């Protein structure tokens, strides 16, 4: 795999950052796998100046030229997916299947961004005057992207690709723990695809540079994916600045197993939803709601599924689950499990860890106010609760402060479609689990799960553009004075 970015950041080429260097450790082994550059606030200033100079020319190009860069980047990655997946496995602790899946999602984002460049970008409006009146989407200019560690590649690319395709420049600050698979790999990919210099800047850095990016007066748009706590801080900081801000935040997502659902099929969906990538996904199934006459069977079979999963270094393809991202996250997950058991829950599987390798965990008889049920865990933990009536289950689902993704499993999908009308959530998946995202679909949360826009397809026009009203008349208008 290329290491052209060794000890570098990317800003008008691969250059030495002002923040020194940082070693990257594989969470599975503790091995140092790379050394990358670190940006400081002076690098940010240079990046903003460079982006400001490059962006107008990029926006003025025919859309075909922007689309061609996106298509070429997609083709390059499709020909050599290991240039990304080969870093996702060691750097983020991704299982090989998850890494391949995530790489495919990135290719889809690039392909969809190429199509986005040719989408209609406005509409003709009616006017009482004899004139042409239209509303059109114009690029905001510079988009600041702050992305997380869990799905570092796709959660960066779903902002970077559409923002570039629509004529913006991008300054990307990836999570420090996944700066290669969440940023530097893309810098190399886009450079190879022909993206002109100055349009993409990748600045691996800590919180100081992130805060400076959020507050920089030259960056009119911020696209943040991360925790609700951090999102609230960004919202508070950007409110007085009147920026365009897109916050994609946390979730505590419910999987509702209706009384008529096939239990074996439901367990398969529930296990995938809770344990994929060690539960480190905003869409992870964090609450399993099962009819009381089926809850015992469901929980027992889910525990059997959890006990059968191989956990270990994801370099070995036999290990479907890898490590949690770091010791702090592992300690938090374990404390939530311990507190929930102390509150009265029954531990059916897991609840132990070897280093950062946390066993898939199933809890039943979980009190609704216990931390494993009421909080976003970001670990491989499946709390199971029984309900008496569907009305009670809907109330439990809506009681959460979050509203990102909900699953309903049933033999009567049209009944579930009616129930979806009563659920406050950015997504409702009928007869599928909660973890799902497609480049062509509008993705975003409600309540504490997000604000300010959605990702996906033509919805990106609203997120990464401003709307401009334009009128045209044949003659200069005359007025009484």
- Provide the annotated active-site residues: 248, 282
Three-state SS letters, the chain? CCCCCCCCEEECCEECCCCCEEEEECCCCCCEEEEEECCCHHHHHHHHHHHHHHHHHHHHCCHHHHHHHHHHHHHHHHHCCHHHHHHHHHHHCCCHHHHHHHHHHHHHHHHHHHHHCCCCCEEEECCCCCCEEEEEEEECCEEEEECCCCCHHHHHHHHHHHHHHCCCEEEEECCHHHCHHHHHHHHHHHHHHCCCCCCEEECCCCHHHHHHHHHCCCCCEEEEECCHHHHHHHHHHHCCCCCEEEEECCCCEEEEECCCCCHHHHHHHHHHHHHHHHHCCCCCEEEEEEECCCHHHHHHHHHHHHHHCCECCCCCCCCCECCCCCHHHHHHHHHHHHHHHHCCCEEEECCCEECCEECCEEEECCCCCCHHHHCCCCCCEEEEEEECCHHHHHHHHHCCCEECEEEEECCCHHHHHHHHCCCCCCEEEECCCCCCCCCCCCECCEECCEECCCECHHHHHHHHEEEEEEEECCCCCCCCC
């Amino acid at each position: 795999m290329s290491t052209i970015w060794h000890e570098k950041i990317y800003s008008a080429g691969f250059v030495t950052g002002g923040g020194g260097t940082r070693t990257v450790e594989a969470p599975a082994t503790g091995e140092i796998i790379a050394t990358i550059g670190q940006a400081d606030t002076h690098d940010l200033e240079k990046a903003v100046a460079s982006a400001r100079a490059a962006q107008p020319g990029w926006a003025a190009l025919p859309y075909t030229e922007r689309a061609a860069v996106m298509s070429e980047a997609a083709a390059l990655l499709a020909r050599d997916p290991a240039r990304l997946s080969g870093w996702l496995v060691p750097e983020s602790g991704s299982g090989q299947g998850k890494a391949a899946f995530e790489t495919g999602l990135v290719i889809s984002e690039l392909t969809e961004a190429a199509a986005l460049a040719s989408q209609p970008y406005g509409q003709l409006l009616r006017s009482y005057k004899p004139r042409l009146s239209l509303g059109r989407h114009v690029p905001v200019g510079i988009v600041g992207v702050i992305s997380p560690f869990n799905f570092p590649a796709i959660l960066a690319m779903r902002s970077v690709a559409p923002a570039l395709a629509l004529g913006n420049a991008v300054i990307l600050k990836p999570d420090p723990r996944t700066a290669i698979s969440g940023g530097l790999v893309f810098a190399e990919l886009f450079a190879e695809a022909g993206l002109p210099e100055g349009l993409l800047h990748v600045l691996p850095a800590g919180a100081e540079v992130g805060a400076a990016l959020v507050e920089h007066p030259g960056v009119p748009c911020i696209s943040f994916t991360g925790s609700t706590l951090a999102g609230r801080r960004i919202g508070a900081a950007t409110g007085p600045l009147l920026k365009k801000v897109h916050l994609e935040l946390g979730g505590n997502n419910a999987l509702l197993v209706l009384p008529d659902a096939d239990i074996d099929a439901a367990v398969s969906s529930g296990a995938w939803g809770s344990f994929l990538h060690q539960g480190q996904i905003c869409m992870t199934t964090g609450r399993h709601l099962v009819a009381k006459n089926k809850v015992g069977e469901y929980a027992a079979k889910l525990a059997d599924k959890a006990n059968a999963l191989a956990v270990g270094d994801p370099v070995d393809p036999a290990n479907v689950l890898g490590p949690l991202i770091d010791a702090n996250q592992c300690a938090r997950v374990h404390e939530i499990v311990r507190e929930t058991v102390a509150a009265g829950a029954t531990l059916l599987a897991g609840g132990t860890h070897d280093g950062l390798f946390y066993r898939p965990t199933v809890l039943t008889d979980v009190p609704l106010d216990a931390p494993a049920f009421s909080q976003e865990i970001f670990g491989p933990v499946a709390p199971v609760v029984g309900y008496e009536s569907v009305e009670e289950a809907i109330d439990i689902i809506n009681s959460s402060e979050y509203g990102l993704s909900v699953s309903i499993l049933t033999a009567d999908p049209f009944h579930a479609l009616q129930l979806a009308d009563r659920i406050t959530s950015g997504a409702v998946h009928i007869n599928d689990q909660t973890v799902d995202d497609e480049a062509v679909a509008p993705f975003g949360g409600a309540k504490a799960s997000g604000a300010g826009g959605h990702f996906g397809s033509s919805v990106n026009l609203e997120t990464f553009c401003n709307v401009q009203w334009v009128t045209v008349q044949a003659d200069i208008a005359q007025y009484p004075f």
